[in-house]
Structure formats: structure tokens, C-alpha cells
Amino acid sequence: MEDGKAVRSVEVEAPIAASVAVSDGVGYVGNMDRSVMAFDLTTGSQVWSYKQRSFPYFSSPAVNKDTVFIGGRDKGLHAIDRITGKQKWRFAARGRVDSSPVLARDTLVFGSMDGKLYLLSAQTGKQITSYEIGESISSTPAITKDKIIVG
């Protein structure tokens, strides 16, 4: 990094539309080949690949201590086990989920193309509440101490 040269690159064989999430030396990313992948950033080797449905991922993942959360064009918010790459749960929205989820303690916040802002339990995937915005939401919510802002 000091000289501006790449330290590691990883071949994913498909375009990536969003940012990589990094936690504990592992990078997590979705791609347009309908996969979510985990890569060891030290070796560059793939740890796991999750491919549940035939829809691409335009969302950046959010990661907590044991789960990767990512929105999909299958109208779902997916919770994937960080170690095994297996699905823990899936929440079905009524529109594509291109919005990147944000974690606020144990609550996931994300928008959908159905015009709703959703709040879910990160543990169970159960809906806490939703707010009808009236327009499609593809942006990532910003969270302050007492506000959620979507643009």
C-alpha cells in the first residue's frame, strides 16, 4: 500500500456492481453472476460461494460477527453464515433489493424497489417495521443517533 501497488487481486469471473465488505481478513462481495463470495485476503483463495437464486447482487454486504447480509435482485435480503457460506434466512421484500443493508446494533435497515424502507431483526430476519417512502429505494440508508436518512 505504501507504494500504491496492488497487494492482492482476486479473479471473480463476473462484474461487481458494489463495494466489498471486509471483516477479520475476509472479503465478502456479490456479483452479476448471481453469487456472493468470501475470499481470504491474505492468500486470495476463495473461502466459499453462495448461489441461491438466479438473480445478480447489486448490493454491498453488511457483516456482523457471524453473518453476511446482502440484498438481491430476487427481491430478497439474504443472511449467510460467515464461516460456512450457508443461508441462515431470507426475507422477501416486494421489490428488488439493490439498497445495501446497514446494521444498527441488532437491526438491519435497507430499502427496496417496492418503495419501502425495512427494519429487520438481524438475528431472525423478522420484520420489525417498514415505512412507505413512495419511490423506489436503491441507495444505502444513513443512520444517526435518532434518524434514518434515505436519498
Question: Which pLDDT belongs to residue 1?
Answer: 55
Return the CATH number of the domain spanning residue range 21-142.
2.40.128.630
How many CB atoms sit inside 10 A of residue 1's CB? 6
Domain boundaries, the chain: 21-142
How many CB atoms sit inside 10 A of residue 4's CB? 5
How many CB atoms sit inside 10 A of residue 43's CB? 11
Q: Beta strand 62-63 with 36-40: parallel, antiparallel or unpaired?
A: unpaired
How many CB atoms sit inside 10 A of residue 20's CB? 16
Please tell me the distance from the alpha carbon of residue 54 to that of residue 91, in angstroms, as a whole number: 16
Please tell me the distance from the alpha carbon of residue 35 to that of residue 60, in angstroms, as a whole number: 12
pLDDT in tens, 80-126: 999 999 999 999 999 999 999 999 999 999 999 999 999 999 999 99
Confidence of residue 32 (pLDDT cuts 50, 70, 90): confident
User: What b-and-e string marks burial along 71-91, b requiring 16 or more CB atoms within 10 Å of the CB?
Assistant: bbbbbbbbbbebeebeebbbb
